[in-house]
Structure 1
Amino acid sequence: MGDPSRLLEVASLREQVERALSSRIVSGEVAPGEVLTVPTMAAEFGVSATPVREAMLDLARRGFLAPMRNRGFRVTEVSLDEVRQLREVRRLLEVPPMRSLAGHVPDETASRLLDLAAEIVRAGEEGRFQDYLEADTTFHLTLLELTGNRFLVDVVGELRRQTRLTGLVELAESGALTESALEHAELVGLLVDGRGDAAADLMSRHIGHVGGIWSGERED
């Protein structure tokens, strides 16, 4: 039987490598078609091959990577049709709750959401894309937790784990990423003020922007 502490260490390293690699793929820092190898990634992260291989296999199961026999893993292309479908599902799940949550956001949660909104903007402006993605996910899931529906939170969380963006670096340089990021604080303000319809409209537009970032084809 293996050493439990050693198993936990490997699992922790795998999760760290997976988060780092997925953020690079999602942000476009690693382009579709690029081939990644376990030895190269292990050397870059300064860890053994085992957690890197497991992380890359996890990313392959999520559709981010495709195994190549005796060569490593190829970064997969983004399907625009899948992106549009994911955008529509997110709208169906995340827009309606804005109306019921309006006027019912506790002060403590509102403060936390505003802190996350500020971090999303800072991370985007500073090019810290892993921090940007993690803060963005935490913001949206924290908001949905207010519904008390854990199934909704789990489903949206899984959808976000499967999503891909393209050109995030270029969008950050152009300022478009900051524009989208600023909508988080605006959304909190609308919810605190009890403006449910306006919050729902903003969430729908925001998901459209993000969907456009995923596909490189922003909605107006």
Structure 2
Amino acid sequence: MSTGTRGRRSAPIIGTLADHGSIRSRVLETLREAMVAGELEPGAVYSAPVLAQRFGVSATPVREAMMELTHEGLVETIRQRGYRVVELSEVALEEILQIRELIEVPTVGRAAAVATPEQVRALRPLADRIDSTAAAGELQEFVAADTMFHTEVLAIAGNARLVEEVRRLRHMSRLLGLHALHSEGRLVATLREHHELLDLLEARDVTGAETWMHRHLEHVRSVWSGRG
């Protein structure tokens, strides 16, 4: 990766949302992306009115979004001060990863068993988007594309509740992992990786897809531990 790409940063994540529909959901997703990018730091306390001013909206949708993030375990309420971004311990991160392994590995295998050529073909542009944003160091765009890709793959297996649970666990675990990859310029390590999974789905290779998912999660574990 070139020095220019390594040093490149995306535009600030938090900006006005006044012209967007569904303001609460937009605030919620933007807060998640800001936490992954490190723009909202673990351990720091943020007030709803201050964040609302930065978003260009009222404090109500910000408070509602923060309450949702509280339910997800990403932030905690600090009385009369605001909301603190949770800093997960190594034990908590390992527990999350173990749950993800139990869910995602066999589910990707089931997806490989039933995926149609049309479903795989529809995911190719999204895999291309992951590659292009990784190469450009565009973290928030990478986060959005990568999350959509993995949840769409899991959705092929046909369990919507499972997909939502994985989405929640991925948001929690990525607060540390993706920011580390971005800050060290290592997003490019993911290039072509997602097309490899699609090739396995296209071939109906259940064992290969499960092995890919296990290897992918092991890479996540190595990033957390500083070995990746």
Q: Which of the five TM-score ranges fits, normalised by the shorter chain?
A: 0.7 to 0.9
Question: SS in structure 1 opposite 2:134?
Answer: helix
- 2 CA distance for matches of 1:70 and 1:203? 43
Q: CA deviation at 1:204?
A: 0.5
TM-score (norm 2): 0.78
Q: CA deviation at 1:169?
A: 4.0
- 1 CA distance for matches of 2:207 and 2:58? 51
Residue of structure 2 equivalent to 1:83: 93
Q: CA deviation at 1:78?
A: 1.4
Residue of structure 2 equivalent to 1:110: 120
- 2 CA distance for matches of 1:216 and 1:33? 20
Q: CA deviation at 1:100?
A: 4.1
Question: SS in structure 2 opposite 1:121?
Answer: helix
- Aligned partner letter, 1:111: R
Compute the RMSD of aligned alpha carbons. 2.7
Q: Please list the CA deviations of residues 106-145 of structure 1 after superposition, one character each: whole Å capped at 9, or x if unmatched.
A: 2221122221112122233334433322222221221122
Residue of structure 2 equivalent to 1:38: 48
Residue of structure 2 equivalent to 1:4: none
Residue of structure 1 equivalent to 2:218: 208
Q: Please list the CA deviations of residues 7-26 of structure 1 after superposition, one character each: whole Å capped at 9, or x if unmatched.
A: xx999212111111111112
- Would the alpha carbon gap of residues 216 and 14 (structure 1) be closer, same or farther in structure 2, given more than 3 Å must change? farther
CA contact (8 A) 2:137 2:187 kept: no
2:149 to 139, 142, 146: 139
Show the 5 A alignment for 1:141-156.
141-156=151-166
- Aligned partner letter, 1:95: V
CA contact (8 A) 1:33 1:75 kept: yes
Residue of structure 1 equivalent to 2:14: none
Q: Please list the CA deviations of residues 16-67 of structure 1 after superposition, one character each: whole Å capped at 9, or x if unmatched.
A: 1111111111232322122212222111111111111221222222222222
- 2 CA distance for matches of 1:64 and 1:144? 23
User: Runs of 4 or more off by more than 6 Å in structure 1?
Assistant: none
CA contact (8 A) 1:103 1:194 kept: yes
Show the 5 A alignment for 1:1-220.
12-102=22-112, 104-166=114-176, 168-180=178-190, 182-213=192-223, 215-218=224-227
- Would the alpha carbon gap of residues 43 and 100 (structure 1) be closer, same or farther in structure 2, given more than 3 Å must change? closer
TM-score (norm 1): 0.81
Unaligned segments of structure 1, at least 5 residues: 1-8
Q: CA deviation at 1:80?
A: 1.5
Q: Figure out how many residues of one structure are paired with residues of the other and give that number.
A: 210
Q: Which stretch of the first structure deviates more once superposed, 137-146 or 165-174?
A: 165-174
CA contact (8 A) 1:167 1:216 kept: no
Unaligned segments of structure 2, at least 5 residues: 1-18
- Aligned partner letter, 1:147: A
CA contact (8 A) 1:67 1:73 kept: yes
Question: SS in structure 2 opposite 1:78?
Answer: coil
CA contact (8 A) 1:67 1:74 kept: yes
